[in-house]
Structure 1
Amino acid sequence: MTTAVGFIMLAIIVILLLTNKTSIIPVFGIIPIVAALILGYGLKDIQGFMNNGFSSVLNTVVLFSFAVMFFSLLSDVGMFDVIVNRVMKYLGNNVLVVLYIACFVTVISHLDGSGATTALVTIPTMLPIFKKMKIRPVCIVFVMSIMSGAMNITPWCASMLRVTSVTGLDAQVLWRYLAPIQGFAIIVGLLLMIPVAMLEKRNGAGMTDAEFMELKMSLSKPAQVKVSRPVLIFDMLLTLLMIVGLLLGWFGTAIGFIVAFGLALVANFRTVKEQGAAIKQYGGPAINMVMTILAIGVLVGVMNGTGMIEGMTNAILSILPESLGRHLCFLVSLFVVPINTIIGSDNVYFALTPIMQSLVSTYGVTDLALATAIVVPCALAANVTLIGPSPYLALGLADCTMGEHLKYSFKWIWLLAVLCTVFGGIIGKIPF
């Protein structure tokens, strides 16, 4: 009963998200509660589930609130216009080059292993350029998802640390084992930018010669900014300090953005009245996403508290007959991306992997092979999961919906994951 209700609930959620029938807050905030009531849980029980869910997303709520207000402030005063104008002078009218620059920024910003840092550095930096080039905002989320997914397979990233904590492997040993697959993922990810660039061009990305000449003429004029030059320089230095500090781990993301927003607010708005008006202005976009993330907390809490996750995981595995034996590892790897989308990365690592470990070990499949089969596609799919706050941080920064993101990105990410699994099988890392 619990498992069936879980699958029906997620099917309804996915349909509503993909068809844009309603906003994400009632989808995640109401449907899980109704599902829990159907299963016979009382309101006190459901409140307990929700509280646990809220605890799991609290850090993201704090981070997102101040990060969005910080970048909204800088955008409003014109700092990003100055940067974009200078960059566009050298980029030219080439959609593919813009995508590759976004790939490069993603790879560099993900060196610390933090998906939040990657989103907070990549999207505010590249989104204004994407808009100038008429590339859809959802494309920057896709580019970031593909390249950060490939970079997720490094020893210090959360994906590797989770799978090694379950299997008992050393992260460094596992990384050396699957490094060829990671290299393959990065190369194929870069190659995928070619058809994506063509797709964006067909959708109107890029500029005509006349538009490009007009843009070049406008770029020769100084960008309009609302603050003095010293304040603008301060804003740029503060932003640079934030990016470098996040990449090098000098401070946590939450405390960094709380302090940075406070400094930017005081520097750009001198009176208490102006600062209050700015908080109201920039807090609007932030509060919408905070409500979304808290609604996700409801979904996560209910699914874990009612046992839906455990039941759904066992149901997915029961579909695969044990007679497949040695091939089970490869077959599950092919479908980790959609499984991850449904039950979330944590549950793939902490619920699915231990069960798989006990099943395939009797057929001579090593823990290294199993961990590779799980972590490669799951890391690539980190930003297409319905359960978990991380994708929604990126979507909020890009002002996109999960439905738009899944329609645009899911097929490419699953394709890349399947190709990586097949490549892993060919070179003997994942048993066929």
Structure 2
Amino acid sequence: MITILSYTMIVCFMYLIMSKRLSPLVALIVVPIAFACVAGHAGELGPMMFDGLKMLAPTGIMLTFAILYFCMMTDAGLFNPLIEAVLRMVKGDPLKIVLGTAVLGICVGLDGDGATTYIITTAALLPLYRRTGIRPQVMATVLLLTIGVMNILPWAGPFSRAASAMHVDITELFVEMLPIMLAGLAWVLVAATVLGRQERKRLGVAQIDLHQLLAELEQSKLTGWRFGFSALLTVALIALMMLNIMPLPILFMVAFGLGLLINYPTLQAQKEVIDKYAGSVLSVTLLIFAAGIFVGVMSGTGMVKAVSDSLVQIIPQSTGHYMSVFTAFISMPFTYILTNDAFYFGILPILAETAAHYGIDGKEMAIAGLIGQPVHLLSPLVASTYLLCGLLNVDYGDNQRASIGWSIGTCLVMFVAAVVFGSITVFA
């Protein structure tokens, strides 16, 4: 019964937000509560939801200060040299702008973090999208595809989870994953080209007053020692994130405090910066905490375990020879439904145990499990996707519909590359 309710709840949630019957904020709160009551857990809802909130509270805090930090640095002009270089390169051609979005997303995404990539890239290119009339949804789709691949870097969460669960060496796994990721990035550039051509056909090549744009950037440009300090602070922040020296919420809180003090030394200027972005911060953090209720109910009612158990039970013995292929394909829907922890530590080891009887090693299963990450980013459990939709003012349900096909395409390209390079065996 709980298994049926689990799947029904996910389908109901996605239908309500994609059909715009409910906003994501309301659906994340109301839908899990309704299904928990149907499952007979009405009396336990309080502790369940509070546990979910505690689970996502660090993410909410991190995104709050990450948005404030990068928006502050953008306002102060730290990224103006990067924006100027992009403007000179792409000018008013929608195809070049969309391709530039993909390239910039790949470069910034080297830190493996979706939130920082979204904030920096949108700050650099959103004004250009608005001036040329390119739909913000195009940027959202391209950035989701980009991070879907860059999120598999060794210092990102999914990779370390898969390596730990399968007890494989991180360096060996990364060497094996690298050509697969490059194939995925090639697909991202193809997708950006297709989307860019569609926008060029719709809009034509716009005449952009480049001198005016550059003059506007010059007005908000950091100079002297403040630019050097802000650049060093940002580099140090990203380096510490990658080295995992300190929890991310603390890093962003400290960095924001230092950056605000140096670039906006007066009390009034600091207040204006915070007030300016309070709406953007609130629109994202509300969704994060609402997602905490969704996560708490799924975990507390046993829905996560029910979904995991149902998967194991429906796997026929005859699929043993194809276990890595099977894992690659189910990693798409199941990393969408479940958290990465639930999939990599709950389901993948069970699949790997079966696969071992057919000579399929842990490294191959780890690779298969990572194939579905581009689809995982569209999951309602992924906080950074709410951030992206908020920054671009894109409807969450519309984003799901527009991006899901391209994300599945990334997974399929990576799977084919894994088979071609011998990382996944079709028949063991």
The interval holding the TM-score normalised by the smaller chain is 0.7 to 0.9
Contact 1:89 1:219 in 2 (8 A): no
1:320 touches 1:328 (CA, 8 Å); kept in 2? Answer: no
Which is further off, 260-269 or 25-34? 260-269
Judged with a 3 Å threshold, the aligned counterparts in structure 2 of structure 1 residues 256 and 123 are, in CA distance, closer, same or farther, namely: farther
SS at match of 1:201: helix
**Against the structure 1 CA distance between its residues 76 and 243, is the aligned structure 2 distance closer, same or farther, given a 3 Å change threshold?**
closer
**1:240 aligned to 231, 244, 253, which one?**
231
The root-mean-square deviation of aligned C-alpha atoms, in Å, is 3.0
* Residue of structure 2 equivalent to 1:403: 397
- Residue pair 1:329, 1:360 contacting (<8 A) in 2 also: yes
Cross-structure match for 1:341: 336
Matched, 1:421 2:420: no
Task: Encode CA deviations 1:371-401: one digit per residue, 9 max, x unaligned.
Answer: 11111222x3342122232322333333333
Secondary structure, aligned partner of 1:135: coil
- Match of 1:381, SS state, is helix
Distance 1:325 1:267, change over 3 A: closer
Aligned CA distance change for structure 1 residues 203 and 260 (closer, same or farther; 3 Å)? farther
How many Å apart are 1:190 and its aligned residue? 1.9
Aligned equivalent of 1:351: 346
2:386 maps to which of 367, 372, 392: 392
Contact 2:63–2:115 (8 Å) recurs in 1? no
Q: Matched residues in 2 for 1:239 and 1:402: separation?
A: 33
Number of the residue aligned with 1:49: 48
Moved more, 151-160 or 238-247: 238-247
Q: Deviations over 1:16-45 (max 9, x none)?
A: 2212222211110111112111111144x2
Between 305-314 and 396-405, the greater mean CA deviation after superposition? 396-405
Corresponding residue number in structure 2 for 1:306: 301
Residues 123 and 397, structure 1, Cα contact 8 Å, conserved in 2: yes
Which amino acid in 1 is paired with 2:26? P
1:104 deviation in Å? 2.9
Deviation at 1:73, TM superposition (A): 4.8
Change (3 A) 1:395 1:309: same
Answer yes or no: is the 8 Å Cα contact 2:93–2:200 preserved in 1.
no
Closer, same or farther: CA 247–270 of 1 in aligned 2, 3 Å: closer
For the 8 Å contact 1:265–1:275, the answer to whether it is kept is: yes
Q: Cα distance 1:86–1:154, how it changes in 2: closer, same or farther (>3 A)?
A: closer
| Structure 2 portions without partners, runs of 5+ | none
Letter in 1 for 2:124: T
Closer, same or farther in 2 for the Cα pair 1:261/1:349, shift >3 Å? same
Matched residue, 1:173: 172
8 Å Cα contact 1:326/1:431 also seen in 2 = no
> What secondary structure, in the 3-state scheme, does the structure 1 residue paired with 2:371 have?
helix
- Aligned mates of 1:132, 1:254 — CA distance in 2: 34
Secondary structure, aligned partner of 2:422: coil
Q: Is the 8 A contact 1:79 1:235 kept in 2?
A: no
- Quick one: distance in 2 between partners of 1:117 and 1:342? 24
Deviations 1:58-80 (A, max 9, x none): 12211222233344456667887
**Corresponding letter in the other structure for 1:149:** G
- Supply the distance in 2 between the matched residues of 1:271 and 1:157 (Cα, whole angstroms): 37
Aligned identity (percent) is 25
Name the amino acid aligned to 1:249.
L
Judged with a 3 Å threshold, the aligned counterparts in structure 2 of structure 1 residues 73 and 175 are, in CA distance, closer, same or farther, namely closer
Given the superposition, is the C-alpha separation of residues 262 and 174 from structure 1 closer, same or farther in structure 2, using an over 3 Å criterion? closer
The yes-or-no answer on 1:32 pairing with 2:23 is no
Structure 1 residues 129 and 260: CA distance shift in structure 2, 3 A: farther
Are positions 1:279 and 2:261 aligned together? Answer: no
2 CA distance for matches of 1:352 and 1:181?
Answer: 23
Equivalent residues in 2 for 1:18-417 (5 A)?
A: 18-43=18-43, 45-73=44-72, 84=83, 87-204=86-203, 207-208=205-206, 211-212=207-208, 215-216=209-210, 218-219=212-213, 222=216, 225=219, 237=228, 239-249=230-240, 253-262=248-257, 265=260, 272=267, 275-276=270-271, 278-378=273-373, 380-417=374-411
Relative distance call for 1:221 and 1:113 in structure 2 (3 A) is closer
**Deviates further, 151-160 or 409-418:** 151-160
Offset at 1:259? Answer: 4.2
Residues 137 and 400 of structure 1 are in contact (CA less than 8 Å); yes or no, is this contact kept in structure 2?
yes
Larger mean Cα displacement after TM superposition, 260-269 or 284-293: 260-269
My pick for the range that moved more, 407-416 or 361-370, is 361-370
Distance 1:122 1:290, change over 3 A: same
Question: Higher mean Cα deviation, 150-159 or 46-55?
Answer: 150-159
Question: How does the TM-score come out when normalised to structure 2?
Answer: 0.86
Residue 292 (structure 1) shift: 0.7
Kept in 2: contact 1:177–1:429 (CA 8 A): yes
* Residue identity opposite 2:138 in structure 1: C
Report the Cα offset of residue 53 of structure 1. Answer: 1.2
Counterpart-to-counterpart distance in 1, 2:14 and 2:6 = 12
Residues of 1 paired with 2:229 and 2:393: CA distance?
Answer: 24
1:154 & 1:69 partners in 2: Cα distance?
26
* Change beyond 3 A, Cα 1:277–1:96: closer
SS in 2 for 1:363: coil
Unaligned stretches of 5+ residues in structure 1: none
Whole-angstrom distance in 2 between the partners of 1:101 and 1:120: 15
**Secondary structure in 1 matching 2:357:** helix
> Is the 1:68–1:397 contact (alpha carbons within 8 Å) kept by the matching residues of 2?
no
1:178–1:282 CA distance, 2 compared to 1 (3 A) = closer
Relative to structure 1, is the Cα distance of residues 188 and 39 closer, same or farther in structure 2, using a 3 angstrom cutoff?
same
Deviation readout 1:243-291 (Å, 9 max, x if unpaired): 3223322775434443454456556767645654553442122112111
Which one-letter code corresponds to 1:110 in the other structure? Answer: G
Q: Which moved more, 1:397-406 or 1:78-87?
A: 78-87
Deviation of the 1:10 alpha carbon: 0.9
